């Protein structure tokens, strides 16, 4: 061992040794009076180091003790050797084979950002496949995660699954969900990227041998859902984490066409009957017409038999605002420092509400110019229909001249390229239901798990706006001891042991 390890003395028994990631321990250090996270670390040198006599006496008094916590500080493949010496002579020796390197050497990394088939990835450098159970767990990050941030997501998810008992081969998938303009996150464009990525994910996963368990966070669930529905992705289990997908995609009954007290209906359309909305236009066409596919309703039914919904009833991104939304709703403004905070608040609701509103005075950010809640205008720039005129218009008239923004031309044809249908959903068809990531799916025999329900009382963060809520990325951002129950449930449902 060439100076690759440090250790900490502990008073743990062998039965307690595996609990270190989820329990606090204040009996560490030479004097057994330090917390584990701040205890004095001792370097193991190539010449070796004698163990403290008081630690050895504890073992003599209780043979279940003698646990040392090890910390790798440099790469090494040298074994850790324990020797027992008596009266100047070595009387016993044993060794533990080690291979120490960074955590990213323990799993496969799959890059789909270029939307090409990456082919099968070889075994990771420092976690041979023969140590696995033969299963595959494939994880996708969500929206606004660049390549560097994806590395953080993958490393953290791998470690937490491993600590929770997973023995599956881990595949960390990076995809292009972070396209943006100079100041605009372009969420809807990244929804379209999710659709474009789906066939490549399906191809990669379907070529794997062994069971395939898919995990996805936030908008990564759009990639997986489309891959399953549209590209025959074959999975054993699919676990949805904070899913940024409208509930109506899986439960058509969640589609809400009410004209009163419906927070998913834009305020400008409350006097217009549902048949005039972009979200209901598909109902005017037969199944043979591509325009009948311009709906989120029942978009991903193939997902249901394999899926579990891990949501947070406290999620701030998917929280629904019950009054009139604008760009700054929920945003904390600090004018003294020209600073914006809490920009994620209500952000999913906003991107649905702002479809079709690009160019309007109060929707310069987060909006699109595709159909949506924008109005078709006449040559003078006024609405082509008043509410009274629209509500009495025949179906034939609404097919030819819709009330909503008549853009782009590609979606006003009886035969639309499937890629354009998906792009229209992403950019021009507002959902009329809430996001799966904050609400349970109310279907028989479907399992929902509210991650916030098992949140410990001693939550480590008390946010100025959100208090002690389980927020959108807390599955990764909050330390493992506070969220380990959720990972235990993931390992159980995915049968990853």
Number of domains in the chain: 3
Contacts of 114 (CB under 8 A, 6+ apart): 176
Q: What does the block give as tokens for 429? A: 């068809």
Which DSSP string corresponds to 89-117? EEEEEEEE---B--GGGGSEEEE-TT-S-
> Is residue 76 domain-shared with residue 139, that is, in the same domain?
no
Q: How confident is the model at residue 124 (pLDDT cuts 50, 70, 90)?
A: very high
Burial of 44 (0-12, 13-18, 19+ CB in 10 A): buried
Taking CA atoms, 39 is separated from 9, 16, 53, in Å, by 8, 18, 18
Structural domain contains residue 41: yes
The last residue of one of the domains, among 380, 405, 433, is 433
Structural domain contains residue 111: yes
Give the SS3 label for residue 307. strand
Structural domain contains residue 139: yes
> Is residue 120 domain-shared with residue 249, that is, in the same domain?
yes
Structural domain contains residue 125: yes
Q: What is the pLDDT of residues 354-397, one digit of tens each?
A: 999 987 755 667 899 999 999 999 988 899 999 999 999 999 99
> Is residue 429 domain-shared with residue 442, that is, in the same domain?
no
Structural domain contains residue 386: yes
Residue 478: give its domain's CATH number.
3.40.50.1820
Looking at residue 337, what is its pLDDT?
47
> Is residue 163 domain-shared with residue 247, that is, in the same domain?
yes
Taking CA atoms, 99 is separated from 1, 7, 166, 467, in Å, by 11, 16, 20, 43
> Is residue 301 domain-shared with residue 424, that is, in the same domain?
no
Structural domain contains residue 245: yes
Taking CA atoms, 306 is separated from 170, 213, 245, in Å, by 19, 9, 16
> Is residue 457 domain-shared with residue 345, that is, in the same domain?
no
> Is residue 178 domain-shared with residue 82, that is, in the same domain?
no
> Is residue 269 domain-shared with residue 142, that is, in the same domain?
no
> Is residue 76 domain-shared with residue 90, that is, in the same domain?
yes
Determine contact, residues 434/318, Cβ cutoff 8 Å. Answer: yes
Structural domain contains residue 273: yes
Whole-prediction pTM: 0.95
- Identity of the highest mean pLDDT range in 12-26, 154-168, 174-188: 154-168
Looking at 194-198, 329-333, 388-392, which range is the least confident one?
Answer: 329-333
CB atoms within 10 A of CB 265: 22
> Is residue 11 domain-shared with residue 75, that is, in the same domain?
yes
Q: What is the pLDDT of residues 94-105, one digit of tens each?
A: 999 999 999 999
Q: Is the pLDDT of residue 309 over 50?
A: yes
Q: What is the pLDDT of residues 220-254, one digit of tens each?
A: 999 999 999 999 999 999 999 999 999 999 999 99
Structural domain contains residue 156: yes
Kindly report the average pLDDT of the chain as a whole number: 95
> Is residue 271 domain-shared with residue 383, that is, in the same domain?
yes
Average pLDDT over residues 165-178: 98
Q: Token pair 């010496």 is at which residue?
A: 85
**pLDDT: is 83 or 185 the higher one?**
83
Looking at residue 335, what is its pLDDT?
55
Looking at residue 185, what is its pLDDT?
79
Q: What is the pLDDT of residues 173-186, one digit of tens each?
A: 999 999 987 667 78
Task: Name the residue range of residue 357's domain.
Answer: 265-292+319-433
Q: What is the pLDDT of residues 455-495, one digit of tens each?
A: 999 999 999 999 999 999 999 999 999 999 999 999 999 99
The last residue of one of the domains, among 416, 433, 450, is 433
> Is residue 346 domain-shared with residue 494, that is, in the same domain?
no
Q: Is the pLDDT of residue 5 over 70?
A: yes
The last residue of one of the domains, among 78, 96, 114, is 96
């Amino acid at each position: 061992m060439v100076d690759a390890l440090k250790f900490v003395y502990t008073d743990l028994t062998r039965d307690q040794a595996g609990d270190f990631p989820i329990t606090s321990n204040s009996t560490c250090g030479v004097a057994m009076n330090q917390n584990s996270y701040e205890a004095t670390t001792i370097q193991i040198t190539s010449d070796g180091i004698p163990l403290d006599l008081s630690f050895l006496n504890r073992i003599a008094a209780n043979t279940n003790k003698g646990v040392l916590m090890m910390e790798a500080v440099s790469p090494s493949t040298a074994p850790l050797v324990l020797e027992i010496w008596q009266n100047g002579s070595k009387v016993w020796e044993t060794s533990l084979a080690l291979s120490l390197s960074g955590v990213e050497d323990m799993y496969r990394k799959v890059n789909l950002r270029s939307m090409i088939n990456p082919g099968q990835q070889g075994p990771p450098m420092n976690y041979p496949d023969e140590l696995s159970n033969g299963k595959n767990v494939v994880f996708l990050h969500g929206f606004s995660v660049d390549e560097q941030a994806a590395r953080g997501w993958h490393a953290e998810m791998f470690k937490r699954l491993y600590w929770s008992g997973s023995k599956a081969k881990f595949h960390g998938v990076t995809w292009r969900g972070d396209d943006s303009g100079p100041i605009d996150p372009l969420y809807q464009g990244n929804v379209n990227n999710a659709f474009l990525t789906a066939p490549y994910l399906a191809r990669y996963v379907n070529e794997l041998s062994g069971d395939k368990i898919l995990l996805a966070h936030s908008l990564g669930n759009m990639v997986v859902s489309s891959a399953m529905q549209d590209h025959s992705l074959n999975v054993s289990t699919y676990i949805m984490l904070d899913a940024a997908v409208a509930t109506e995609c899986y439960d058509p009954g969640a589609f809400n066409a009410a004209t009163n007290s419906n927070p998913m209906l834009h305020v400008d359309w409350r006097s217009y009957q549902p048949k005039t909305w972009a979200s209901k236009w598909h109902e005017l066409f037969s199944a043979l017409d591509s325009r009948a596919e311009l709906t989120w309703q029942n978009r991903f039914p193939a997902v249901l038999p394999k899926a579990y919904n891990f949501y947070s009833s406290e999620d701030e991104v998917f929280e629904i605002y019950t009054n009139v939304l604008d760009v700054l709703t929920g945003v904390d403004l600090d004018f003294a420092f020209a600073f914006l905070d809490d920009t994620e608040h209500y952000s999913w609701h906003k991107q649905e509400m702002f479809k079709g509103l690009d160019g309007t005075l109060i929707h310069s950010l987060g909006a699109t110019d595709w159909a949506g809640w924008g109005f078709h205008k006449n040559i003078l720039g006024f609405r082509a229909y008043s509410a009274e005129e629209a509500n009495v218009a025949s179906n034939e008239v609404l097919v030819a001249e819709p009330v909503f923004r008549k853009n782009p031309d590609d979606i006003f044809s009886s035969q639309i390229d499937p890629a354009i249908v998906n792009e229209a959903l992403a950019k021009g068809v507002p959902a009329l239901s809430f996001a799966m990531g904050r609400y349970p799916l109310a279907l028989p025999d479907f399992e929902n798990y509210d991650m916030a329900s098992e949140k410990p009382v001693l939550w480590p963060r008390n946010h100025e706006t959100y208090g002690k809520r389980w927020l959108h990325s807390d599955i990764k951002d909050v330390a493992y001891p506070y969220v380990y129950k959720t990972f235990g449930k993931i390992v159980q449902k995915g049968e990853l042991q």
